[in-house]
Every structure is written in C-alpha cells, then in structure tokens.
Amino acid sequence: MQNVSPRFSHIAPFERRAIFRRAFVNSLPVLMGYVTMGFAAGVLLSVKGGVPFAPLWSLVISATVISGTMSFAIVPALAQGDSLLSVALLTLGINFRYAFYGFSMLGRWRSIPLLQKWFLVHSLADEIYALDVACRIKDSDKHRYYCLWNHALCAAYWVLGSTSGAVAGAALPLPSKGIEFAMVALFLVIFTDQMKGFFRHA
C-alpha cells in the first residue's frame, strides 16, 4: 500500500506513514464494532447457515460482501437453499443505498486507476463512508491515499471478525438465539457517535 500508485509518489514517506496512522486511529471504533458484529455474523452462519466448511464460507462472504445487514440476511437464504436470483435481488434491495455513497465520492476519486476505484466503491459501507467524508485532508491525492487505507483496514476488520466467529461457531457449542440484534445495537452506537461528532463540528 505504501507504493500503491505512481500518483502517490510525490507524497513523502513520512507523510504516508502519518496518513496510515491517522486512518488506523480513526478506524479503531470501526475495529471494535466490525470484529464484534462480524463475530456474531460468523457464529450465526456456522450455527444456522446449514453450509459445510462454514469458516471458508464466512471468509468468502465477508471478503466480497462488506455489509453487516447482508451478512446476517444471507444466512436464512443459504439455509433455505434460495436461488442465486433471489439472493441477488435481496442484495440489491439491502445494499442499494451504497450506490449513492459511491456516486457522491466519484468526483473525489475520478482520476485514480480503475482497480483502486472499484475497490473503494465496492468496499463502501456506512461506517467507512462516514470516515471518508469526515477526513479533513485537503490535498486530493493524500485524501485518496487515506481512503485506500481506511477501506483496506475496515474490510480486514470485518473479514477477521466474521471468519473467527465462524471458526468459533463450528468448534464450540455457542448459542445463536438473539445474536441477530448485535447488528442493530452496533448501528445505534456508531450512529450516536457520528451524530455527536457532527454536532461538535457544527
């Protein structure tokens, strides 16, 4: 990531390290939430998903579906053997709002390589988008560099939490009753924190 693109070559190494530290520190609340909620989603998939090799499934799903809501909603779809079309429509309905996040950021990400742009748009989620928007770095390239680290770190947190939850759910007799409410609780906590930050800045 340090040499992610020639477009960032003018950013001094010490500035890159500073941007990484900033992205990491800013993402710590997301780390706590994503690992916790991801763990719950992994346990739910392992216990109720009805799929073999649940940790592998959880790894693939969490790496490709960076959406807490969808990670919980896909469990009954897998358990019931729903068709790919049904899952695709479910995904579209749940994650449709992320398209607006991506559209609102395309202006800032216009000149970056296609693969990086795809990763940034694909990995957008509520908390990640909030951190992107809250970042006050003025230089456009430095801001994009921050966003790349922010998205990579948050996606890694989600994969770590979800996969470890599936491993624990497969190895231990963990209860799953009520675990679906972890997502609601996490959303309320992060939303409250973001609103407090918004009013402080206002």
Global confidence as pTM? 0.77
d(CA 89, CA 2): 38
Distance between CA atoms of residues 45 and 169, nearest Å:
8
Percent of the chain with pLDDT over 90: 19
Nearest to 173 by CA among 85, 45, 43: 43
Length of the chain as a residue count: 202
7 belongs to a structural domain: no
Residue 5 forms part of a structural domain:
no
Q: What is the mean pLDDT of the chain?
A: 79
* 1 within some domain: no
For the CA atoms of 32, 36, 37, 43, what is the dihedral angle to 10 degrees?
160
> Which pLDDT score, from 0 to 100, does residue 2 have?
47
Instruction: Decide if 10 is inside a domain.
Output: no
140 within a domain of the structure (yes/no) = yes
Who wins on pLDDT, 18 or 51? 18
Cα torsion 152, 158, 163, 166 to 10°: value is -170
Place of tokens 């990491």: 24
Neighbours of 68 (CB within 10 A): 27
| Gap between the Cα atoms of 124 and 2, Å rounded | 21
Of the pLDDT bands very low, low, confident and very high (cuts 50, 70, 90), residue 173 is low
Which residue segment(s) compose the domain that 125 sits in?
Answer: 23-201
Q: Compute the distance between CA of residue 100 and CA of residue 68 in angstroms, rounded to an integer.
A: 18
* Number of domains the chain is built from: 1
Q: Which residue has the higher pLDDT, 9 or 138?
A: 138
Q: Is residue 2 part of a domain?
A: no
Assigned token pair, 150: 């922010």
With respect to residue 94, please indicate whether it lies within any of the assigned structural domains: yes
> What three-state secondary structure class fits 118?
helix
pLDDT beyond 90 at 154: yes
**Sign of the torsion angle spanned by Cα atoms 166, 170, 171, 176:** positive
Give Cα separations from 119 to 99, 123, 155, 161 (angstroms). 13, 6, 10, 20
Q: Give the amino acid at 157.
A: Y
* Residue of 119, 118, 123, 132 lying closest to 27 (CA atoms): 132
pLDDT computed for residue 141 by the predictor: 86
Residue 159 falls inside a structural domain: yes
Give the DSSP letter string of 135-169: ----SHHHHHHHHHHHHHHHHHHHHHHHHHHHHHH
